[in-house]
Amino acid sequence: MAEYTLKNEELTVVFRTQSAEIRSIRDNKTGREYMWQADPAFWGWTSPVLFPLVGPVAKNEFRYRGKTYGMKQHGFARQSEFDLCEMEGADIGFVLTDNEERLALYPFRFRLEVGYRLSGRTLTVLWKVTNPSEDEELHFQIGAHPAFNTPPAEGMKKNDCFIGFDTEGPLTVSLLNLGGDPGLSDETMQQELQADGTLEITDELFDIDTLIVEHDQAHKLTLLTPDKKPYVTVVFDAPLFGVWSPKKDAPFVCLEPWYGRADRISFDGEISEREWGNTLPPKGVFEASYDIILG
Q: Residue 239: how many CB atoms within 10 A of its CB?
A: 17
Identify the pLDDT of residue 61: 86
Tell me the C-alpha to C-alpha distance, in Å, between residue 31 and each of 3, 153, 193, 246, 253. 19, 11, 33, 26, 20
Identify the pLDDT of residue 178: 84
Which domains does the chain possess? 3-294 (2.70.98.10)
DSSP, collapsed to helix, strand or coil, labels residue 114 as: strand
Identify the pLDDT of residue 85: 97
List pLDDT tens digits, range 276-294: 999 999 999 999 999 999 9
Residue 253 pLDDT > 90, yes or no?
yes
Quote the mean pLDDT of the chain. 94
* Bridge partners for 33 per DSSP: 26
Residue 64 pLDDT > 80, yes or no?
yes
Q: Which of 154, 175, 127 is nearest to 278 (CA)?
A: 127
List pLDDT tens digits, range 159-186: 999 999 999 989 999 999 887 788 899 9
Report d(CA 200, CA 161) in Å as an integer: 7
Residue 36 pLDDT > 90, yes or no?
yes
**58 burial type by CB count under 10 A (0-12 exposed, 13-18 middle, 19+ buried):** buried
- What mean pLDDT is predicted for residues 209-238? 96
Q: Residue 229: how many CB atoms within 10 A of its CB?
A: 11
Q: Are strands 122-130 and 285-294 parallel, antiparallel or unpaired?
A: antiparallel
Q: How many residues does the chain have?
A: 295
Give the amino acid at 207: D
